Amino acid sequence: MSVLDRIAREYVDLVLTKHQYHDVWDVYWLADTIFWKREDMHVDRVNRHYPYKPAPAKSYMSLADIVYCGKLLLKEVEEQKKLLAGRELIRAVFLAEHLRSLIVKAKLLQGEKMPYDVFTAEMYALTAPPFSGSDLKKACEDLSAALPGTGSLSERIGAYKRELLIPCQKLPAVMDYAARFFHEMAVENMGIKNECMPRIRYWHYGNDIDFVTVLFGYDYDLISLEQNFNLDVPYYLDNIREVAGHELEPGHFTFMNLRTKGAIDYGYPELGLNLHAPSSAFIEAGARLTIELALDTPAKERVLDEKLFELAGTDKKYLESLPVYRSFTKQANLGKLEIERKLWDGEWTDVQAREFAAEYAIDYDDVLRFAKDAGHFTSHSYSTDVLRRYYDKYGRSTEEKWKIYTLLCQQPFSMKGIEDGSFDPFAFDARL
Ligand SMILES: [Zn+2]
């Protein structure tokens, strides 16, 4: 066992210790041993809201002690970085970024205040640039021209969304098709086995949980997963492809699958763990971009949209405004980031933030929905722009971009290096 192996184990242990201060979703993926095969099942069929194996309970440790231990480990990693090269250095950088994230999150839980940009730089190794209103303003104007009718832009968006709502009884047909489509993308472009197609189920949960994902079996290349959709939640045609491609394959399902393989292949326990950290900023961006990679021409987008509209029984005339609407939502997400930052830094009151949202037809409820996920719009929306730029720098074709995504899913990386473009995605040589 190397010094880095020891630090990695202590990092994982410290994360699980910190977990006692969070709700159950902090650590959302844990391969607690570097297993080849899952031999026992931990699925609570009675508890449909949280059917998972809970993260192992650790003994009590104060947040101050967690910060202290995190800093000790970080200091050690920084020392190691001076001695290492190649693959081991990349691992050390990955651990350092994740330790910084652990420390700053523990400080936040202690009630420490810090500027938004300082927090996201430590938490996700990302700093979003200052907001420029011009792109969002332009997106509003374009959307306003594309959506007919009277009333404010927000009202017209509301009316448009109602047309895009997938009737509950049609959801299974639409979702089954979209899930199969994106599964085939993962098979074709990421080497995923066809047998890994998740089982899709539909329930009336009677609450607002979108879906519940359950891992049933794992045998390295073969994974048995189930996705349970809640029929009591509205799903819309503009982003149903996200619900399928982002949440299932080649998005989060595939990432967890490959990450676990990485943990086994290299014996890195830190890859068996996922939580809000630079890793989550990568997977959110990576999952969003799988849609762009799978549908890399407007013609391909159109073919899939037409099929989904057909299955939903929705009038295809509403397809025409879809590209403009999607461009608007991308820009609106950066507007939400600005709201998040200004509220965090105390520069805006709630009233001022609502005024800004109303001016740009931003759904304020969406900002409130993610209020508990500190730095949400940096780790989701800004990170997507960062990763898109990164793909463009290192990938000359869509095929090469798929390759980069596949590699980064199963290997350590530097999120900071992805942001500034200095991290070489091919540098971690798996053959050594
Ligand atoms: Zn996601």
269 and 151 inside one domain: yes
Give, in degrees to the nearest 5, the angle at Cα 234 between 233 and 235. Answer: 115
229 and 84 inside one domain: no
Q: Three-state SS for 230?
A: strand
102 and 190 inside one domain: no
The helices-and-strands tally (H runs, E runs) of the chain is 18, 5
Residue 128 included in any domain = no
Question: Residue 54's CB: how many other CB atoms inside 10 A?
Answer: 12
Instruction: Give residue 252 CA to ligand 1 midpoint distance, Å.
Output: 7
Question: Residue 85's CB: how many other CB atoms inside 10 A?
Answer: 9
**Domain limits at 65?**
3-115
Cα–Cα separations (whole angstroms), residue 62 to 12, 99, 135: 17, 17, 45
Residue at a domain's end among 85, 115, 145: 115
Q: Is the pTM of this model over 0.75?
A: yes
Residue 124 included in any domain = no
143 and 49 inside one domain: no
Instruction: Give residue 210 CA to ligand 1 midpoint distance, Å.
Output: 12
Residue whose pair of structure tokens reads 């927000």 in the numeric block: 154
140 and 99 inside one domain: no
Residue at a domain's end among 81, 115, 149: 115
Residue 411 included in any domain = yes
* 112: amino acid identity, one letter: E
Which is it for the CA torsion 124, 93, 64, 272, positive or negative?
positive
Instruction: Give residue 83 CA to ligand 1 midpoint distance, Å.
Output: 36
45 and 167 inside one domain: no
Say if CB 58 and CB 20 are below 8 A apart.
yes
77 and 32 inside one domain: yes
Question: Residue 274's CB: how many other CB atoms inside 10 A?
Answer: 21
Burial of 299 (0-12, 13-18, 19+ CB in 10 A): exposed
154 and 254 inside one domain: yes
Instruction: Give residue 254 CA to ligand 1 midpoint distance, Å.
Output: 12
Residue 120 included in any domain = no
End-to-end CA distance of the chain: 17
Among the listed residues 395, 224, 432, the one whose alpha carbon sits nearest the alpha carbon of residue 418: 395
Instruction: Give residue 246 CA to ligand 1 midpoint distance, Å.
Output: 6
Beta-strand pair 199-203/222-230: parallel
105 and 176 inside one domain: no
Strand runs labelled E in 238-293: 273-275
Instruction: Give residue 247 CA to ligand 1 midpoint distance, Å.
Output: 6
Instruction: Give residue 45 CA to ligand 1 midpoint distance, Å.
Output: 24
Structural domain tally of the chain? 2
Residue 18 included in any domain = yes
360 and 249 inside one domain: yes
Cα–Cα separations (whole angstroms), residue 184 to 38, 190, 196, 261: 25, 10, 10, 20
Residue 125 included in any domain = no
95 and 212 inside one domain: no
Say if CB 242 and CB 304 are below 8 A apart.
no
Q: What single DSSP character describes residue 236?
A: B
Residue 90 included in any domain = yes
Instruction: Give residue 353 CA to ligand 1 midpoint distance, Å.
Output: 25
| Number of residues assigned to the chain | 432
197 and 243 inside one domain: yes
Question: Residue 29's CB: how many other CB atoms inside 10 A?
Answer: 19
Residue 241 included in any domain = yes
Tens-binned pLDDT, residue by residue, of the chain (432 aa): 899 999 999 999 999 999 888 876 677 777 777 766 666 666 676 776 666 776 778 889 999 999 999 999 999 999 999 999 999 999 999 999 999 999 999 999 999 999 999 999 999 999 999 998 899 999 999 999 999 888 999 999 999 999 999 999 999 999 999 999 999 999 999 999 999 999 999 999 888 888 888 877 788 888 888 899 999 999 999 999 999 999 999 999 999 999 999 999 999 999 998 889 999 999 999 999 999 999 999 999 999 999 999 999 999 999 999 999 999 999 999 999 999 999 999 999 999 999 999 999 999 999 998 888 899 999 999 999 999 999 999 999 999 999 999 999 999 999 999 999 999 999 997 665
Instruction: Give residue 209 CA to ligand 1 midpoint distance, Å.
Output: 14
